[in-house]
Amino acid sequence: MGEAAEASAEKKRKRGFDAQARGTLRRFIRDWIWPRRGEVAIALLITTGLAALTGAYPLIIKYAFEAVEKGGNDALIWIIIAIVAVTAARSVFLYLHQVATTRVVLRMVIDIQKRAFSHLMGADYARLARDATGHLVSRLTNDLNFIQSSAQTAIVSFIRDVLSIIVLTGVMLHLDWKMTLIVLAVSPIAILPIRSVGRRMRAVARRTQVELGGTTARLTETFSGSRLIKAFNLEDYARRRLNQNFDQILALRMKSVRARARVGPILEALGGLAVAGAISLAYWRIASGGTTVGDFIAFMTSLILMSQSVRSLGAVSTATMEGLSAADRVYELLDEKPVVIDKPDAQPLRVGQGAITFDNVSFAYAAGGEIPAIRNFSLIVPGGKTVALVGRSGAGKSTVINLVARLFDVSDGAILIDSQDVRDVSLVSLRRAMAIVSQDITLFDDTIRANIGLGRLDATEEDIIAAAKAAAAHDFIVEQPNGYDTVIGEGGLRLSGGQRQRLALARAIVKNAPILLLDEATSALDTESERLVQDALAQFTRNRTTLVIAHRLSTVQRADLICVMSDGQLVEVGTHAELLARDGDYARLCRSQVLADVDEAPQPAEP
């Protein structure tokens, strides 16, 4: 997906490179630095103090020389006191500087992290499902590390170095303004190498971030598939796959290191030229009485200190490029607009009977190309009744449920609940009205109680136990080592498939919603437990609109209405007896054991 888009974005990046970098930087400052301007100002102030103290060194050296020349004892004592005082003050400021700048950077990065996460939580289901989990994780972790480290370098060094350069320039002007002007005239040469390296850094950084995302995605995928890896002897396959990623990251990192390593030596060489030039000039300056030896040495000290600052500024600017590249990616994320959203005048859904109407619905998944998953689907699920959806795998049954919950919007037609289009009501009210047990069950690494309680966050202990009983889960829960307090592991890994399903069912039951959507909610249960659950559910689903997808005849038979789907279309509707008598798709499904039952063999339809 998006190879052409990626290529054109790449072209755009190259063309408007500097402009875009400046744009991102401006936006970044406005969004994240400006709101923390108070803290930034404090950090700046402390940094200014540090720079001022740094500037005091050469001055003290100048006076020390003069004092030594004159041979006065008093002056020397004062100078020693001054040196100790300046160093002590500088230590204190170094500490404050470190803490204040790091604090502001960390807080800023957390701001970004919270915003990005909150944005993703509000994103479409389709968007969240589009990227592998690891890619999303990497955007909220690795990318922010890039921003953090470069913001840290930038704020810490940029301010310090710029201020040092300003202060040292002032000192140099004070000592010997003619020589200073000559130095300043040649200094812009230093900018050229920094700029060209910066461009390269930004491009490499972007590729590194994408690659890190890919690696994180593969790692998460591999670890969550550890059972498969073990059972199929895929350890070497996994090692090879991940080693490719690791090597790729190493290569990119080395590219960035090589680019970055170029800046220091170039500036070092330029600095050497500047110092050599200044010394040659000095001979003539001192001879002509334009300066003294003390002034000259102070001047050289300042110049050397300044060339250090210029060098570290070069490093900052290349580091900033990495941060800007990560900031671009954060902005790409934040600029994505969800599609499935409330209309401006969205009203809460008013549920009466809870009738669901599918009015000529068609739908195609974005990733599914042109092939629609649902075509011209029309059906009325009467309020308070149970409707079963059956059909072969891939027929579009789960898609129907996704559309009712508005995880996706229909491409054509409409879905109405009690005559209200699901797209016209607020999402919160829509999803409050329905409880879903989906085909792939999601459980969090938390206690059993907490996992059931997710159905309704204000559920009481009694509600939770009642729901667990209704889902025939109570008995196995109390047998767990800590009962309802047992932590079930990531994805509920410490439970059996059937136990997981019953927890999911309990979670849906505790929600106590008027509409119940069950996608193979009891498929992993043995017939015995299934019957228990079905009996309990019969009680619970009375007067609730229930859409149930099932492969078990016993479940399907209980429904008020059975709908048979094939290839995204509705092909038959009726009761079990009616459909058997018709001897159509339903009867065929029964015969072909798609609708299976272990102890209740499907009754072959009479020809």
Ligand X SMILES: Nc1ncnc2c1ncn2[C@@H]1O[C@H](COP(=O)(O)OP(=O)(O)OP(=O)(O)O)[C@@H](O)[C@H]1O
Rounded distance between C-alpha atoms, residue 549 and residue 439, angstroms:
9
Residue pointed to by tokens 């004092």: 67
Q: Which does 368 bind (CB under 5 to 8 A by kind): Mg ion, ligand X, none?
A: ligand X
3-state secondary structure 538-606: HHHHCCCEEEEECCEHHHHHHCCEEEEEECCEEEEEECHHHHHHHCCHHHHHHHCCCCECCCCCCCCCC
CB of 393 to ligand X, least distance (A): 3
The residue among 348 and 368 lying less far from ligand X, judged by its C-beta, is 368
From the list 159, 153, 171, 155, the residue with the least C-alpha distance to 305 is 171
The values of phi and psi at residue 546, to 5°, are -125, 130
Q: Looking at 61-69, 234-242, 274-282, 366-374, which segment touches ligand X (CB under 6 A)?
A: 366-374
CB of 394 to ligand X, least distance (A): 4
CB of 398 to Mg ion, least distance (A): 3
- Which residues 6+ apart lie within 8 Å of 540 measured at CB? 470, 509, 516
- Which residues 6+ apart lie within 8 Å of 463 measured at CB? 456, 510, 512
Binding to ligand X in span 14-73, by CB under 6 A: none
* Helical packing angle, 293-334 and 235-287, nearest 10°: 150
CB of 47 to ligand X, least distance (A): 51
CB of 396 to ligand X, least distance (A): 4
From the list 392, 376, 389, the residue with the least C-alpha distance to 588 is 392
CB of 440 to Mg ion, least distance (A): 9
- Strands 420-421 and 412-417, how do they pair? antiparallel
Q: Which does 109 bind (CB under 5 to 8 A by kind): ligand X, Mg ion, none?
A: none
326 and 196 Cβ atoms separated by less than 8 Å:
no
Q: Is 358 exposed, middle or buried (0-12, 13-18, 19+ CB in 10 A)?
A: buried
The residue among 313 and 373 lying less far from ligand X, judged by its C-beta, is 373
| Cβ-proximal residue to Mg ion, closest one | 398
Q: Which does 125 bind (CB under 5 to 8 A by kind): ligand X, Mg ion, none?
A: none
The residue among 215 and 398 lying less far from Mg ion, judged by its C-beta, is 398
CB of 211 to ligand X, least distance (A): 26
CB of 411 to Mg ion, least distance (A): 19
Binding to ligand X in span 376-405, by CB under 6 A: 391, 393-399
Rounded distance between C-alpha atoms, residue 203 and residue 209, angstroms:
10
Q: Which does 453 bind (CB under 5 to 8 A by kind): Mg ion, ligand X, none?
A: none
The values of phi and psi at residue 417, to 5°, are -115, 120
Q: Is 605 exposed, middle or buried (0-12, 13-18, 19+ CB in 10 A)?
A: middle
Rounded distance between C-alpha atoms, residue 565 and residue 590, angstroms:
14
The residue among 222 and 398 lying less far from Mg ion, judged by its C-beta, is 398
Q: Which does 365 bind (CB under 5 to 8 A by kind): Mg ion, ligand X, none?
A: ligand X
Q: Which does 1 bind (CB under 5 to 8 A by kind): ligand X, Mg ion, none?
A: none
CB of 479 to ligand X, least distance (A): 31
Rounded distance between C-alpha atoms, residue 154 and residue 135, angstroms:
27
- Token pair for 476: 């196995």
The residue among 397 and 511 lying less far from Mg ion, judged by its C-beta, is 397
Confirm or reject binding of residue 152 to Mg ion (CB under 5 A).
no
Confirm or reject binding of residue 552 to ligand X (CB under 6 A).
no
Interface with ligand X: number of residues (CB under 6 A): 13
CB of 398 to ligand X, least distance (A): 3
Which amino acid type is present at position 234? Answer: L
Tell me the DSSP string of 315-334.
Answer: HHHHHHHHHHHHHHHHHHHH
From the list 484, 422, 403, 494, the residue with the least C-alpha distance to 450 is 484
Q: Which does 272 bind (CB under 5 to 8 A by kind): Mg ion, ligand X, none?
A: none
Select from 87, 226, 439, 482 the one that contacts ligand X (CB under 6 A).
439
Q: Which does 367 bind (CB under 5 to 8 A by kind): Mg ion, ligand X, none?
A: ligand X
The residue among 311 and 397 lying less far from ligand X, judged by its C-beta, is 397
CB of 396 to Mg ion, least distance (A): 8
- Strands 569-574 and 412-417, how do they pair? unpaired
**DSSP-assigned beta bridge partners for residue 572:** 564
Q: Looking at 16-24, 47-55, 246-254, 437-445, which segment touches Mg ion (CB under 5 A)?
A: 437-445
The values of phi and psi at residue 377, to 5°, are -90, 115
Binding to Mg ion in span 371-400, by CB under 5 A: 398
CB of 556 to ligand X, least distance (A): 13
Q: Which does 265 bind (CB under 5 to 8 A by kind): ligand X, Mg ion, none?
A: none
Q: Which does 476 bind (CB under 5 to 8 A by kind): ligand X, Mg ion, none?
A: none
The values of phi and psi at residue 519, to 5°, are -105, 100
Which amino acid type is present at position 355? Answer: A
Select from 365, 429, 445, 569 the one that contacts ligand X (CB under 6 A).
365
From the list 195, 117, 109, 181, the residue with the least C-alpha distance to 147 is 109
Q: What is the dihedral of CA 58, 59, 65, 66, to 10 degrees?
A: 160
Select from 316, 373, 430, 570 the one that contacts ligand X (CB under 6 A).
373
The residue among 244 and 439 lying less far from Mg ion, judged by its C-beta, is 439
The residue among 198 and 396 lying less far from ligand X, judged by its C-beta, is 396
Q: Which does 395 bind (CB under 5 to 8 A by kind): ligand X, Mg ion, none?
A: ligand X
The residue among 49 and 338 lying less far from ligand X, judged by its C-beta, is 338
- Token pair for 286: 């001192």
CB of 371 to ligand X, least distance (A): 7
The residue among 164 and 398 lying less far from Mg ion, judged by its C-beta, is 398
Binding site for Mg ion (CB under 5 A): 398, 439
Binding site for ligand X (CB under 6 A): 365, 367-368, 373, 391, 393-399, 439
